[in-house]
Structures are given as structure tokens and as C-alpha cells.
């Protein structure tokens, strides 16, 4: 599947009537697992990218180069369309433009650009936003940096929980006016907030987390939410499993007594062992003697 095919698939989801849950992915194996389990799209979050690549918390230490390279590894491993959290675009509007170019080249199906002030400002403990005008400039730069018109660019704001619902609506409307393909909204605490944003805009909505009362995908679909995130539990589960396994080995547990290890069958499936052996036979003459 070409990069454009992946992007068109993401666009079909955004233009469709349903709300889907993406699979949280962060490396070559996790994206293949998501693909094999039938997820329609993967979500590569900024927080999980920082954890997987650097082992650092989500405080904007990962660089554009590191993020794009990890995306490139996943694009090679699987044709699953991936939506990338590109944070603030790694700088000002010109940096945003380059961020779009790099992630497009790395095979991302779509990306989000947010209006959070990142990195955190000196002396400011609370999350801050850039001005609406600067946010609009970043969205315009993102669209200008796009070489493939099928790449999905989303304008993201968390204003609902940082400033006010009215500010979130104003920002959503302004970003929509720039021509972005969808709106990515975080910090929504109640149905009335989502409904107000949906009523004020026309673009597909991606919801970045919500309270339990908003877990019904049919309700979300009625509010034009086409993708609803569900956190990054896969990375958390993998970390727990690795920790417990190493701890057991360190404490002297025999290898044969370890629980939860991946089977040889599943490993072969995820590494595409059969296909690779076929290529070895074709190109290296193996198995012909």
C-alpha cells in the first residue's frame, strides 16, 4: 500500500459516518500487532514517542528527527495508516512547515499541530497556549508544507480545559477557516462542551480523551467525532511485562517458569517470517537443494 493509499484510507474514515477507536502504536512490532488485530488506523502519540525513543516523560524533549525516524520505521513495517501527534511542530510556523515535510516523507497518513505553548515557559507551572493569531499561522504553514494533498492535517487545541470553552470554539473556527482537514480537540469534560464545538464547526472531529459519559461511539459519531482516542495502554502493558520478566530473572526464576512470554508462532507471524523465508528462497537460492 502506497503512502497515498494510507492517507486516502484515513480520509475515508474522517468522511464516513462512524466513530472508530485507533490502536496506539509506537514501534515496528506494535504497529504490526494493531494491523493484524484489525485496527483501521494507528495513533502515534507524542507522549508514547518520548517514552519509546528516549525513555523520558512527555515534556517535549524528543526532536523532530527522532519522531520522524520512528514513524519511518513503522511505515516500513506495516501499511496501517498512522496519525502522528506532532505536538507544536517543534518551533514556530516555519518549523511547523518542515515538520509536515519530514512526517510526510516518513509515511504518516496524518498529523496534528497544536496551539499549546511548548516547551513549557520559564516560571510558568500551568499549561499555556500561544495566541490565536500564532495558531492560525501555524495551521497555514502546515498546509503550505504539505507536498501530497492527501496528507491529513489536523488543527489541535486543548483550550477547553486551559482557558475556556468560548476560546476553544473561537480557535476551532479559526483553524477550520485556514483549510485544515479536521479538528483535534482535547480537554473536553462534558457532553455540552463537545456539542457546542460540533455545533460551531463543520469539520470531522478527533477526540483526544473524554470522561466515561462520552464513551458511547454512537453518541460521538452523532457529534461528528470520527476518531476517539483511548490512551496508550499498549505501551503501559508492555512496560509492565518487561519489568516483571526482568525482575523475575534477576531474582533467579527459571526461564521455564516465566509466564506471559510470546509464542514462537506469534513471533513468526509478527516478524513475517514466512514471507521472509520465501524471499530468501527466491533471491538466495535457499531451500532448493
Q: What angle do CA 22, 119, 238 make, to 5 degrees?
A: 40
Q: Which three cell numbers stand for residue 66?
A: 527522532
Tens digit of each residue's pLDDT (9 = 90 or more) over 142-201: 999 999 999 999 999 999 999 999 999 999 999 999 999 999 999 999 999 999 999 999
Residue 5, C-beta contacts closer than 8 angstroms, at least 6 positions apart: 79
Say what the pLDDT of residue 112 is. Answer: 98
Cα dihedral 8, 11, 16, 21, rounded to 10, equals 110
Task: List domains and CATH numbers for the chain.
Answer: 3-237 (3.20.20.60)
Entry field: residues in the chain? 289
> Positive or negative, the Cα torsion across 165, 220, 116, 122?
positive
Each residue's pLDDT expressed in tens, for the chain with a length of 289 residues: 899 999 999 999 999 999 999 999 999 999 999 999 999 999 999 999 999 999 999 999 999 999 999 999 999 999 999 999 999 999 999 999 999 999 999 999 999 999 999 998 899 989 999 999 999 999 999 999 999 999 999 999 999 999 999 999 999 999 999 999 999 999 999 999 999 999 999 999 999 988 888 999 999 999 999 999 999 999 999 999 999 999 999 999 999 999 999 999 999 999 999 999 999 999 998 865 5
Amino acid at each position: 500500500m502506497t503512502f497515498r493509499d494510507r492517507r486516502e484510507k484515513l480520509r475515508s474514515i474522517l468522511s464516513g459516518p462512524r466513530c472508530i477507536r485507533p490502536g496506539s502504536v509506537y514501534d515496528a512490532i506494535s504497529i504490526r500487532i494493531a494491523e493484524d488485530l484489525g485496527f483501521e488506523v494507528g495513533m502515534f502519540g507524542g507522549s508514547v514517542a518520548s517514552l519509546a525513543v528516549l525513555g523520558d516523560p512527555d515534556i517535549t524533549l524528543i526532536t523532530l528527527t527522532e519522531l520522524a525516524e520512528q514513524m519511518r520505521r513503522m511505515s516500513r513495517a506495516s501499511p496501517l495508516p498512522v496519525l502522528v501527534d506532532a505536538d507544536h511542530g517543534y518551533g514556530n510556523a516555519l518549523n511547523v512547515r518542515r515538520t509536515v515535510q519530514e512526517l510526510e516523507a516518513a509515511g504518516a497518513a496524518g498529523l496534528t499541530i497544536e496551539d499549546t505553548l511548548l516547551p513549557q515557559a520559564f516560571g510558568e507551572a500551568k499549561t499555556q497556549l500561544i495566541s490565536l493569531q500564532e495558531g492560525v499561522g501555524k495551521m497555514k504553514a502546515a498546509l503550505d508544507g504539505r507536498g501530497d494533498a492527501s496528507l491529513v492535517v489536523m488543527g489541535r487545541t486543548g483550550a477547553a480545559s486551559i482557558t475556556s470553552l468560548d476560546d476553544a470554539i473561537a480557535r476551532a473556527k479559526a483553524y477550520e477557516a485556514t483549510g485544515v482537514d479536521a479538528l483535534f480537540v482535547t480537554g473536553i469534560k462534558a457532553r455540552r462542551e463537545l456539542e457546542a464545538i460540533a455545533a460551531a464547526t463543520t469539520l470531522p472531529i478527533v477526540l483526544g480523551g473524554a470522561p466515561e459519559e462520552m464513551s458511547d461511539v454512537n453518541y460521538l459519531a452523532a457529534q461528528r467525532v470520527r476518531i476517539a482516542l483511548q490512551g496508550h495502554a499498549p505501551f503501559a502493558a508492555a512496560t509492565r511485562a518487561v519489568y516483571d520478566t526482568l525482575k523475575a530473572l534477576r531474582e533467579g526464576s527459571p526461564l521455564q517458569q516465566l509466564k506471559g512470554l510470546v509464542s514462537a508462532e506469534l513471533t513468526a507471524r509478527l516478524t513475517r517470517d514466512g514471507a521472509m523465508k520465501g524471499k530468501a528462497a527466491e533471491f538466495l537460492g535457499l531451500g532448493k537443494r
